[in-house]
């Protein structure tokens, strides 16, 4: 069952690019969370998306929002990617694919890559409720950043 608007966001703890555990409920205690699921590190649209979030951090921070990037890549790959792009927010490794399953964003086959994340964005309010959900079936498309900002403005 996918995580839908109005439902409680599935809890998780995943390692970030520095192998430090990040727990959703701990992040929500600091304010709203934007979860950005991306198919693969170092791919062009994923990089564009996360750079857009990076470049919007000042605006997102004014809403006290925290961005968490999630992919099934290893934390080694995520560290190299972050070192290159200086995203400024945690990149989480869902290598075991449990969180993408819990959020209902598994792409069974993207050009031969099996069981990676669909490009998806969730906005979760501090009370743990999903307020925005966008799951893209076309990995070449970017999310609607304006909807993310609009949702955060209502929290």
Per DSSP, helices labelled H in the chain are 24-28, 44-55, 57-62, 75-85, 98-102, 145-153
- The residue from 9, 34, 38, 46 that is catalytic is 46
Cα separation, 19 vs 41, whole angstroms: 16
Active site residue 51: no
Task: Residue 115: name the closest of 94, 131, 135, 134 by CA.
Answer: 94
Cα separation, 119 vs 142, whole angstroms: 8
Dihedral in degrees, nearest 10, Cα atoms 69, 70, 72, 78:
30
Please list the active-site residues. 46
């Amino acid at each position: 069952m996918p995580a839908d608007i109005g439902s409680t966001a599935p809890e998780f703890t995943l390692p970030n690019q520095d192998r430090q555990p990040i727990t959703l409920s701990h992040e929500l205690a600091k304010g709203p969370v934007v979860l950005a699921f991306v198919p693969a590190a170092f791919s062009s649209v994923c990089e564009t998306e996360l750079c857009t979030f990076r470049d919007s951090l000042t605006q997102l921070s004014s809403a006290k929002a925290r961005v968490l990037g999630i992919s099934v890549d290893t934390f080694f790959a995520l560290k190299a990617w972050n070192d290159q792009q200086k995203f400024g927010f945690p990149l989480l490794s869902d290598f075991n694919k449990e969180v993408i399953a819990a959020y209902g964003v598994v792409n069974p086959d993207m050009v031969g890559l099996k069981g990676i994340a669909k490009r998806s964005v969730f906005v979760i309010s501090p009370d743990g409720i999903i307020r925005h959900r966008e799951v893209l079936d076309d990995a070449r498309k970017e999310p609607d950043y304006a909807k993310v900002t609009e949702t955060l403005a209502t929290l």
